[in-house]
Structure 1
């Protein structure tokens, strides 16, 4: 169950990030016109998939999780001795402290605004496991590139309310309110 939770978290992160493709200009808006076209969103989603498909086999599964964990471990093990000392751990922790503080501040601003609007911090709840079940359409506990693309296309279509192949600022704002 723990492995499934870690794997589901990886999938949830990737889809949440992909969902943000049309939520914020700049992520999938290379021309900066504040309109995200379907080709822009799909290109950004493909880049995200390629990044988390560590072994490049076109499927997000336990092998990717293992490879990603090994990559993170080797990054933390700066002297390459096969173990992480307290000083290595603290060095990594301190290196990311400022970045985490900035993200936390932005998150708190978002949650504060959401609470003011009467929403649950912009989150529906349910966590990663239900998301994994929705995306893993064939139930093999792995998400293929085709399943990933289908989920992104469905999210894009839902946000593109006038079905013109692009998500305008107004559609983006409406999608945020729906979430």
Structure 2
């Protein structure tokens, strides 16, 4: 039953005019009462129960999903067209490499910040990272993964180590 309600809530959020408006212009979250939320879910259920039998069957779900996917596709096309028009600064209907890269080129590079790496690796606090300091975390990671302490990471030990991440 909870799974059905979740599916209905998902369909509610993916269909209807509210979805189209939210995708175009994200609104700040607003408080909502439980009664209002349930009313929204019930409206969505009713909209998707096209034969009005009190149930949403496979075909009704597929119709709702097709509609939602079509809506999202149309929105993406509109967004891409708007981005293209914005990038096509000379309005010739095509993008030169210069136009395509212009927004990226205009972005300043972030200021480098060595402090986090130095804080993590410079264990003797001399303002530099030695090869030994650089190697230490990787060696410690290897040693943790080498559970049988034979100096070799078997495929099984590697898989277990990856699973722990």
Q: TM-score, normalised by structure 1?
A: 0.27
Q: TM-score, normalised by structure 2?
A: 0.29
Structure having the higher strand fraction is: 1
Higher CA-based Rg: 2
Higher relative contact order (CA 8 A, sep 6+): 1
